[in-house]
Each structure stands twice: as C-alpha cells, then as structure tokens.
Amino acid sequence: MPDGEDNAVWTASPDEVMGVDGLRHRSPQATIWRWRGDFQNDFAARMAWTSTADRAACCHPPVVDGTGQARSVLPGQEVPIGVTVQDPDGHGFDSHWFCYPEAGACGISASVLPGEDGQSALVRIPEGSPPGTVHIVCAVTGRGSIPLTRYCRFVLEVRFQGA
C-alpha cells in the first residue's frame, strides 16, 4: 500500500522530470508534468471538434504503431526499435524517443539514439545491468495548429547472459 493508504491506488509515486526552470525535479506532483502540455492540447482539440460542423478541418492526432514492442535483451546489447506513423492531416510530425526509468523494474536508464527518420531508434542497454524491465517511449507530435501527441511504449526485458 503506498504511503500508508488503505487501497491500491498509486497517488504518491514520484517521477523525475525537467522543469520549465531548466532544473530536474523529483516529486509525486512531477509525475504529470512531462505529459501536461500533451493532455492539455488533446483537450483543446476535442473542444475544437465540438465547435465545428466540419471535424475534418480540425487537427487530428498521429497514428503510431510500434514494431517489436516487447522483447528480451542482454546487458550491453544494442536493440533496434521502431514505429510507423500515419499523419491524417498531412502536416508532418516530430518524434521524441526517451527512456522512462520510473516505469522500469531494474533501476537503470538506457541510452536511446533516435534515427534520422524519427521512426526508429537504437537502444543501448548498459553493461552490468541487473535483470528487470526497461521502458522506452516514442512520443509523436503532429505539426498542426494544435500539436497532438500519441505514444508508443517498448518494454525490454533485461535478462542475465545465458538465461
């Protein structure tokens, strides 16, 4: 039970994020900071959809599909991962790949090297990593008047050599 609560609702699980002040912060409140702009833009787009009869003229989120989302990896291994992106509005998109260590179960942060196409990345699992999971996220944001973001998460299961 988290922080003395009497139910299994995780209300005080901290994240570490970069704040608008350029400093890293770790707190339960910071958990939503990294997602705030995206969910506010999503709400704004949904409101725009309700105020027009021509929903096709509004912004729509990109459609993101991951390839090989779950797989076993070894410490020291380089793992290629990728997504396919469809942009329903044709405005183009930007992608941001990152390791989400707070979601993982082995306490490591893998390095993520994005490909030039924005739809692929190479993940480097550190030598000596303990067994557990490493979570890699690709955030894809459309370039429309309301930039909408969708995510694809990859869960890499780090195992011992020979296991």
Alpha helices in 17-157 (DSSP H): 33-50
> Six-digit token pair at 45?
């787009």
Q: Which domains does the chain have, with CATH numbers?
A: 1-58 (no CATH), 59-163 (2.60.40.10)
pTM given for the model = 0.83
Per-residue pLDDT of the chain in tens (163 residues, 90 and over written 9): 455 656 666 566 677 787 889 888 888 777 788 888 999 999 999 999 898 888 788 899 999 998 766 789 999 999 999 999 999 999 999 999 999 888 877 778 899 999 999 999 999 999 988 899 999 999 999 999 999 999 999 999 999 866 5
* In the block, residue with structure tokens 């299994």: 8
Residue 58: CB atoms within 10 Å: 19
